[in-house]
Structure 1
């Protein structure tokens, strides 16, 4: 897989179909969790792949997955910053996301993660849902590794407080 990616980087060609097959599901999951709306996430992933294709291809400076993830995060950030998004009803978006979870699944954790501030939500999603290390998250988000580690710690602390009763079955 890496050989194909490096060969494509050397040729300057970007195999959009292969990239969509390999990374589409992971990007859709990330964008859905980042934006809280499945339909909006589908649009974001489509735009991310379009931007990758329009860029002329992958240069090989990082892994292809990292490159596409960075593009998808930038698309999500631009969606969240748009004036029309600020006027949306977030409860309806959350219900759309939770409708995709299997019946009987406890959605407390998802709700808690989505209620975090965007900077904390981003590092939690990239670390726990996408499996990136702090150093990789720092590269993706263009910040220092120590900042990522601090944000992860603060996010875990906030989640711990929100989920204390749920996780430990103790009254707060």
Structure 2
């Protein structure tokens, strides 16, 4: 029998974690995967894995760091899967009228999604999940220097993509 299932408070704790961190985990997954339905599946899988391993959580890191690491691994696995490589490009639908409302400016999100996965992952964790380079290194199992280099290279790639979006003078 799974250790988490024997934990009487595990369901309540996972419910609390979902309420407290669910939106952030979903945003993280969306930014890493670029697809809402995949992000929803990844967020759900994150909390299923957290529930299954709840009894083994040793609180060496914060709950946020623990859940963020699980979500990063789930997203990384989805990006590597053969199913993900067989997806159809639906960009031709962008020209179709969808309604009367003005869509939000998604320039930054599109630029982040255009990054290679290893750079996208550290950008999402650093800027969107507010993790330190040390926490990111711990989550991904890579040296902190590698995280810093990936962030630097990601910024270098983002700068020309966002040149028209930001104002350097003010």
Verify: 1:43 aligned to 2:41, yes or no.
Answer: yes
Q: Once the two structures are superposed, what CA deviation does each residue of 1:12-59 show, in whole Å capped at 9, x if it has no partner?
A: 953111111111111001001111111111111111111111114322
RMSD (Å), alpha carbons = 2.3
**What TM-score, normalized by structure 1, do the two folds share?**
0.80
Task: Kindly indicate whether the alpha-carbon contact (under 8 Å) linking 2:65 and 2:131 is maintained by their aligned counterparts in 1.
Answer: no
CA shift, 1:165, in A, is 3.1
Verify: 1:108 aligned to 2:107, yes or no.
Answer: yes
CA shift, 1:90, in A, is 4.9
CA shift, 1:105, in A, is 2.3
Tell me which protein shows more helix as a share of its residues: 1
CA shift, 1:104, in A, is 4.2
1:30 matched residue in structure 2:
28
User: What is the correspondence of 1:72-87 to structure 2 with a 5 Å cutoff?
Assistant: 72-87=71-86
**What TM-score, normalized by structure 2, do the two folds share?**
0.81
Q: List, as ranges, runs of 4+ consecutive aligned residues in structure 1 with deviation greater than 4 Å.
A: none
Out of 13, 16, 21, the position equivalent to 2:14 is 16
Task: Kindly indicate whether the alpha-carbon contact (under 8 Å) linking 1:12 and 1:56 is maintained by their aligned counterparts in 2.
Answer: no
Counterparts in 2 of 1:48 and 1:90: CA distance versus 1, 3 Å: farther
* Aligned pairs, number: 153
